[in-house]
Amino acid sequence: MKRTRTSKAWMHEHVSDPFVQRAKAEGYRSRASFKLMEIDDRDHLIRSGDVVVDLGAAPGGWSQVAAQRMKGKGRVVALDLLEMAGLPGVTVIQGDFREESVLTALENLLQGERVGLVLSDMAPNISGVPLSDQARIMHLAELGLEFSQRWLKPDGAFLVKVFQGYGYEDFVGEMRRTFASVATRKPDASRGRSAEVYLLGKGLKQSA
């Protein structure tokens, strides 16, 4: 298949992206690693000894950062529909988080241990129909929030990627009903033209 001008432009932008180049030079699996680093440097989310659950983990950039910063104390559980190569200190589950059997496998792996940090960088396959795609994106975010409500420690945190658009304000409202504090983060490694933002909820409210 002949490449379109759009795909050629994207590839040029990708290979010349300074965060892509840094990831290759420093041994990180993706440019997304720098998003989590910047947010964690500011908000101190990754705590040694905690359990970290990484939803939508492949290719593993966030799990890699979390495992490194925990320095062997605690554990990281990574889940993705796509196959993901193993990482030191990371347990990988391959499956669709929307399926009850996959959620059960994840919960069984936790063995009742509460989670210090839930990361969600999940995104569906894009259909090209904006309203449909946005609804599917927000549905994944809602599933991540539901999991956090059940499994986070009282002082735990939930960091989730969302896109501003249909359903966004309703989701922010649900975050505020769940967490004592909710903040928006747009790290430098997030492309400026992208509508993606990261919502950070910290501290479960007692009624959550």
d(CA 185, CA 84): 26
In DSSP terms, 87 is beta-bridged to: 90
Element (H, E) at 141: helix 130-151
Q: What are phi and psi of 134, to 5 degrees?
A: -65, -40
- Ramachandran class of 110: left when φ > 0, alpha when ψ lies in -120 to 50, beta otherwise: alpha
d(CA 195, CA 120): 16
> What type of residue is 120?
S
What is the Cα 157 distance to its own chain's centre? 12
Query: How many other CB atoms are there within 10 angstroms of residue 20's CB atom?
Result: 17
The answer to whether 56 touches 121, Cβ cutoff 8 Å, is yes
Q: Which residues are annotated as a binding site for S-adenosyl-L-methionine?
A: 60, 62, 80, 96, 121
- Given the residues 2, 71, 161, 202, select the one marked as catalytic: 161
Annotated catalytic, 73? no
Query: How many other CB atoms are there within 10 angstroms of residue 104's CB atom?
Result: 10
Residues carrying an active site annotation: 161
